[in-house]
Amino acid sequence: EAGVAQSPRYKIIEKRQSVAFWCNPISGHATLYWYQQILGQGPKLLIQFQNNGVVDDSQLPKDRFSAERLKGVDSTLKIQPAKLEDSAVYLCASSSHRGGANEKLFFGSGTQLSVL
Amino acid sequence: AQRVTQPEKLLSVFKGAPVELKCNYSYSGSPELFWYVQYSRQRLQLLLRHISRESIKGFTADLNKGETSFHLKKPFAQEEDSAMYYCALNRAGGTSYGKLTFGQGTILTVHP
C-alpha cells in the first residue's frame, strides 16, 4: 500500500514568515495526526483529526499554528508567523481507527523546517 | 499527566551481545505501551506493542506495572538493529490510538 505522503521534504524560512505543510494519509484512513519533533526529543502530538473534524488540538499553539482537513482526506498545517523555536521535523501519521490488536500508526517521512 | 522516560540517549554494543533499551513511564490509568523504531533514512515505524505479546526481529518487551517499565530486549544484537528507538505510551482502551506520548529516544549502535 502507498504510504503517508508529505511535502515539502525540507523548508527554510526566516522568522516571522509563514509556512505550510501538506499531508496525504493512507487511503481509507479516517484518523490523521500531526506531530512535532524537535531535535533530540521524541515526537510531540500537535493535533488529531477524525475524518474532517478536530478531535484534539490541546497541544497546538493556536496563536500561530493552524491545521485543517476540509474534505477528510489530506491535511495542511500552517505556521504564521514562524519563530526560531518552531524549527523541527513535522510528522504526519494516519491510522484506520478500526481498533484491535492489528491497529497501526503509519508515519510519513516528515517535513524538516529550519527557521533562521 | 503521562510521561515516558528513556534514560539512555546512546547505547553501544557489539554484534552478538545482549541488548536492553530501558523505558519507564508514569501514568495514573491503565497504559498501552509501544516501541517504535527509525532506521537510517527510513520512516518511524512500529516495532512492537505490549498488548500483542509478540517478538519482532528477535526483540521482546514485557510490561512491568509494578516497576512502571517496558524495557526492550534482544539476546543477540545484529548490526542491522542499529537505529533510533522510541518508547511510547497511550491510554489503554482509548479511542485515540495514535495519541502517543513518546520518550526522547535511544540511539542503538551495534558494532561488528
Residue B54 vs residues A95, B30, B48, B50, B60: alpha-carbon distances, Å = 20, 20, 7, 8, 7
Take residue A52 and report the three cell numbers written for it. Answer: 474532517
Taking CB atoms and an 8 Å cutoff, what residues of chain A touch B95?
97, 99
Q: Cβ separation of A3 and B52 shorter than 8 Å?
A: no
| pLDDT surpasses 60 at A101 | no
Distance CA A99, CA A102 (A): 7
Asked whether the beta carbons of B66 and B85 are under 8 A apart, the reply is no
pLDDT of A47 reads: 94
Asked whether the beta carbons of A107 and B45 are under 8 A apart, the reply is yes
Across B7-11, B22-26, B58-62, B92-96, least confident range: B92-96
Residue B9's closest chain A neighbor by CA?
A40
The tens digit of pLDDT for each residue in B16-33 reads: 999 999 999 998 888 889
pLDDT of B49 reads: 87
pLDDT of A98 reads: 63
Note whether A103 contacts B: Cβ–Cβ < 8 A: yes
The tens digit of pLDDT for each residue in A44-100 reads: 999 999 888 998 899 999 999 999 998 889 999 999 999 999 999 999 999 886 655
Which among B96, B106, B107 is the top mutation candidate for probing chain A, defined by the most A β-carbons within 10 Å of its own β-carbon?
Answer: B96
